A and B are shown apart, each in its own frame.
Chain A
Amino acid sequence: MKNRTVVLLALLLGLIMFAGTGCGKRAVEAPADPAVEELTEEERARLEEERLKEEMRRQALEERRLQEERMERERDAVDAEARIQEAMEEITANRIHFAFDSYELTADARSTLQKISEHMKRFDELRLVIEGHTDERGTAEYNLALGERRARAAYEFLVLLGVSSDRLQIISYGEERPLVDESNESAWAKNRRADFKVLD
């Protein structure tokens, strides 16, 4: 039943198309119908309108895509910035400690330096100042030399771990900049150290 209807409709459509073709030829030959012409104008305007709308949407979509891409890029950049900031904070929060009159790196110090070297390798742009410090118990000039030995021990270990030496700088402060300005065992232990400062 449904099939018969489809076939009938198709035949009908065929007849109409045939008749239409005949009419079309006549229409071309006949003078232009103002009503048809008017309709075409309207249609053209509508199409134009639609074209403009489409163009606007396309442009908007493009804009949005670009914006999203840009935002994505910005998001990436913020992450990198945040990550480097985090790395810098981690580097500077670390310090390594030494025994009295010693510049030997302890196991703790070596693992700290390992962490610092990872950050340094991840972010090529980072440059470090390694500050060597001593407690107040020695005397100033020898302590300046000892601070140098401490900073250099850290420097040499970082170079061994693959950090380029031109990204590292050493300074000894000797006993001039204690972390804890007190005179007791606990303060001295804290003051015998190497600090890491990221260069701008």
Chain B
Amino acid sequence: MIKLRFFIFLSAIFLVVSLLPPGAGAQDSLHIDIFGPGEERINVFIAPPKDLQSEVLFDPELGSRIYDGLQSNLGLLPFLTRVDPGHILGGPGVEGVRGRDIDFRKFNLSRVDLLLTIGLEQHARGPGSVEIRAFEVFDQRMILGRAYDLQDMDQVPLMLRRFCAELMDYLTGSGDFFRSRLAFERKQNGNKDIWSVTPQGTDLTRLTDLRGITLSPAWSPDGSRIAFTLMRDDRHHLGIWDLEKGEEQVFSMPGNTVISPAFSPEGRLALSLDPMGRPDIYWLDGDYGVDETIMEHWAIDVSPSFDASGTKMAFASGRLGNPHIFVHDFDKGRVQRVSYEGRYNTNPSISPEGDFVAFTRQTPDGHRIFVADLETGREKQISFGPGNDEDPAFAPDGYFVAFSSNRSGDYRLYLTTRNGDEPRQIPTGEGNAKAPAWGLERDF
């Protein structure tokens, strides 16, 4: 986080930053509907980095880190297909990084839709300047160009996330996947603490050190706080980790349980407490005191999840004898049942648009992730094990879904999409990792 303050972002000093609407006739050639059936593909190719001052790369390490990082980031986008450098007729190289120096025909013939170039300029101090450009090959048109002045090699991942966020903005309308950060539980030495990592697997950071069991992290909408359950000294507590202070506060709650905190889009905190002798869902006030009841029932009510408008809350309830998924509509004052199949449906995560709910269903083969369409009532299984797939969480773009799975033996975090694309593991180190929660990076 601190890095952000040191990072000098020279946006388009000399590059024409083209985020202008694409010209008539050429428009939509490289736009992807991520809410479509997930069958569209764009072929992408990243040209080898070029030194802007000489024929030979002054610092090959910087070049390869940027190249590999871009490959890795773009490799996480299921709608991009990487074109093998060996398949580029006439070789993968470019004469220069600017449009006028590129022979687009060879890339066009090689079925490349999207071409990226990397230009480097070495500085006396620090790694130097980096220029990254993205071109639509067919139209021979630059769609995005950015220059960055790096003070430190460690800034490469952040630079690439920023570039990729803008590229994804252009391609899909939402680049929040690259502006997000995941909080999750990580188990080490019998304790569980809250850690964070980018969805791209960089900047793994420990946030709490509470010598207890911390569970169910949830980001505030502004990314300034993480609420979580803390079990310590024979009691449940509400923990609030504060980004500004870099430390946590611990609050006692009435009753015996503090389960599944979740922020509404307005920043109100909801969670399941049992002051009435049963787990119900309550709003807390600004000082983390109990404000009012949202969901009161004799049965278990846990795991609230809010859409971006704050009008819908998905939750899990045992009111039918077994846990099922429901959606409470605040405007209509109505509770809609979402899951009908199976006997154990939990872990709801409602999409920001409020149109889908991802949840975990216990099947004979273990837990699997399903996505229910609230309009049609149709369900789609998006994870297939083996082992248990749990804790689905919709990304702010409503496209990616993070979840935890013990398919490799231990619990690890994975990324898929609402379409059920091939899961990609997010590196989190040793120890079980569970309960991923998306937050938007502050001051990104």
Give residues in A with beta carbon < 8 Å to B. 101, 129, 137-142, 144-146, 148-149, 151-152, 169-174, 176, 197, 199
Q: Quick check: A145 and B300 within 8 Å, CB to CB?
A: yes
- Mostly, the B contact residues are strand
Tell whether A148 pairs with B360 under 8 Å between CB atoms, given A139-B367, A141-B216, A171-B231. Answer: no
Kindly name the residue among B215, B256, B362 whose own CB sees the greatest number of chain A CB atoms within 10 A. B256
Chain A residue contacts of B278, Cβ below 8 A: 149, 152
Q: Would you call B146 an interface residue if the criterion is a C-beta within 8 Å of the partner chain's C-beta atoms?
A: no
Give residues in B with beta carbon < 8 Å to A. 192, 213, 215-216, 229, 231, 234-236, 256-257, 259-260, 272, 274, 277-279, 300-303, 316, 318, 322-323, 343-344, 346-347, 360, 362, 367, 390-391, 434-435
Q: Quick check: B257 and A148 within 8 Å, CB to CB?
A: yes
30 contacts between A and B (CB under 8 A): A129-B234, A138-B323, A139-B347, A140-B390, A140-B391, A141-B260, A141-B302, A141-B347, A142-B316, A142-B323, A142-B347, A144-B302, A145-B279, A145-B300, A145-B318, A148-B257, A149-B278, A149-B300, A151-B256, A152-B256, A152-B274, A152-B277, A169-B234, A170-B256, A171-B234, A171-B235, A172-B256, A172-B257, A174-B215, A199-B234
Q: Quick check: A101 and B259 within 8 Å, CB to CB?
A: no
Q: Quick check: B360 and A139 within 8 Å, CB to CB?
A: yes
Chain B residue contacts of A142, Cβ below 8 A: 300, 302-303, 316, 318, 323, 346-347
Tell whether A140 pairs with B216 under 8 Å between CB atoms, given A101-B344, A176-B231, A197-B234. Answer: yes
Q: Quick check: B259 and A144 within 8 Å, CB to CB?
A: yes
Complex formed: what's the CA distance from A28 to B105 in Å? Answer: 159
Chain B residue contacts of A101, Cβ below 8 A: 322-323, 343-344
Q: Quick check: A139 and B236 within 8 Å, CB to CB?
A: no
Complex formed: what's the CA distance from A146 to B300 in Å? Answer: 8
Q: Quick check: A138 and B302 within 8 Å, CB to CB?
A: no
List the count of A-B residue pairs having beta carbons below 8 Å apart. Answer: 89
Chain A residue contacts of B192, Cβ below 8 A: 176
Chain A residue contacts of B231, Cβ below 8 A: 171, 173, 176
Chain A residue contacts of B318, Cβ below 8 A: 142, 145
Partner among A138, A151, A152, A173 whose Cβ is within 8 Å of the Cβ of B346 = A138
Chain A residue contacts of B234, Cβ below 8 A: 129, 169, 171, 197, 199
For the complex of A and B, the 5 pairs showing the least CB-CB separation, nearest first, are: A145-B300, A145-B279, A170-B256, A142-B346, A139-B346
Whole-angstrom distance from the CB of B186 to the nearest CB of chain A?
13
Whole-angstrom distance from the CB of A167 to the nearest CB of chain B?
14
Chain B residue contacts of A149, Cβ below 8 A: 278-279, 300
Chain A residue contacts of B272, Cβ below 8 A: 141, 145
Chain B residue contacts of A199, Cβ below 8 A: 234
Complex formed: what's the CA distance from A151 to B213 in Å? Answer: 18
Complex formed: what's the CA distance from A139 to B434 in Å? Answer: 11
Chain B residue contacts of A151, Cβ below 8 A: 256
Whole-angstrom distance from the CB of B357 to the nearest CB of chain A?
15
Q: Quick check: A172 and B360 within 8 Å, CB to CB?
A: no
Excluding A141-B302, A144-B215, 6 further A-B contacts by CB distance (< 8 Å) are A140-B390, A144-B260, A145-B257, A145-B302, A148-B274, A171-B234
